[in-house]
Amino acid sequence: NAGVIQTPRHKVTGKGQEATLWCEPISGHSAVFWYRQTIVQGLEFLTYFRNQAPIDDSGMPKERFSAQMPNQSHSTLKIQSTQPQDSAVYLCASSRLGVGQDTQYFGPGTRLLVL
C-alpha cells in the first residue's frame, strides 16, 4: 500500500510569492493532519480535517496560511505572500478514526525554502 504522498518534495520561493503544498492521504484514512517542523520550534501541529471537514486549525498562523480538503484523496496547504520565517519542512499525516485505529502515519514532507 502506498503511504502518504506529498508533493513537491522541495520548493523554493521568493519572498512574497505563493506556495501550495499537496498531500494525498492513505486510502481509507478519514483524518488528515498538517504539521510544520523547524529546528527552533520542533514539530508543530497546524490543522486537521476529519472526513474532509476542517476540525481544528488552532496551530495555523492567522494570516497567509490556509488549508483545504476538497475531496477524500487530497488536501492542500497554501501559504500566501511567503516570508523567510515560513521556511520549514511541512508534514502531512493521515489516520483512521476511532480508539486504537487513530495512529497517524506521516508523509515524507515538503521542504520549503523562502529566499
By beta-carbon proximity to other proteins, the closer residue of 74 and 96 is 96
Minimal distance in Å, beta carbon 84 to other proteins? 21
Q: Which of 8, 55, 78, 80 binds other proteins (CB under 8 A)?
A: 55
Does residue 61 belong to the site contacting other proteins (CB under 8 A)?
no
Minimal distance in Å, beta carbon 16 to other proteins? 27
Does residue 99 belong to the site contacting other proteins (CB under 8 A)?
yes
Q: For residue 10, count other CB atoms closer than 10 A to its CB.
A: 10
Alpha carbon distance 115, 28 (integer Å): 37
